[in-house]
């Protein structure tokens, strides 16, 4: 979700709570906002905990990862897809890589935490036989 939309909804909930029910409504809106933030934090921690158990930059199949990627995916969803933290290749532009057992590698370019492009690099002997 776009942060501007999220903060706008939070503000709207606070205003609606205040005008609808006064202090109790404001308290309820604040409680709902905190609960939503805790759910988002818990989801992020769960993804990172799952990724911590896997080797860095490793995926079962780079080709399947390549097929599931699309422009605009946030880094958190890609880590959830791969169940592994990527290997950072460069900082500007921000490029991360995941490889499989066969040597095929997916390089993903991020801008502000969102996927902008990706490439699939296969080993030379596999490309020659295909």
CATH number where 98 lies: 3.30.1450.10
Give SS3 for 17. helix
Q: Are residues 60 and 46 in the same domain?
A: no
Predicted confidence (pLDDT) per residue in 110-124, tens digit: 999 999 999 999 988
Element (H, E) at 86: none
| Domain containing residue 15 | 3-51
Cβ distance 87 to 57 under 8 Å?
yes
Please check whether residues 18 and 82 belong to one and the same domain.
Answer: no
Give the Cα separation of 88 and 97 in Å (integer). 6
pLDDT digit string, tens, across residues 57-100: 999 999 999 999 999 999 999 999 999 999 999 998 999 999 99
Q: What percentage of the chain has pLDDT greater than the value 70? A: 95
Alpha carbon 68 to its chain centroid, in Å, reads: 13
Q: Domain check: are 75 and 59 in the same one? A: yes
* Residue count (the chain): 130
For residue 40, report the phi and psi dihedrals to the nearest 5 degrees.
Answer: -65, -40
The total number of structural domains in the chain stands at: 2
Within this chain, do residues 59 and 47 fall inside the same structural domain, yes or no?
no
Is there a single domain that holds both residue 65 and residue 117?
yes
Pair (17, 75) in one structural domain: no
Asked whether residue 1 carries a pLDDT value surpassing 80, the answer given is no
> Are 45 and 85 in the same domain?
no
Mean pLDDT score across all residues of the chain: 91
Same domain, 18 and 38: yes
């Amino acid at each position: 979700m776009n942060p501007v939309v999220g903060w706008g909804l939070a503000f709207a909930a606070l205003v609606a709570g205040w005008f609808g029910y006064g202090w109790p409504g404001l308290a309820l809106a604040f409680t709902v906002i905190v609960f939503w933030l805790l759910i988002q934090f818990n989801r992020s921690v769960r993804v990172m905990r799952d990724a911590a158990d896997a080797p860095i930059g490793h995926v079962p199949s780079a080709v399947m990862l390549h097929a599931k990627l699309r422009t605009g995916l946030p880094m958190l969803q890609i880590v959830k897809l791969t169940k592994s933290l990527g290997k950072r290749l460069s900082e500007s532009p921000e490029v991360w890589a995941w490889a499989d057992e066969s040597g095929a590698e997916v390089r993903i370019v991020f801008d502000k935490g969102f996927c902008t492009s990706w490439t699939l690099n296969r080993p030379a002997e596999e490309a020659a036989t295909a």
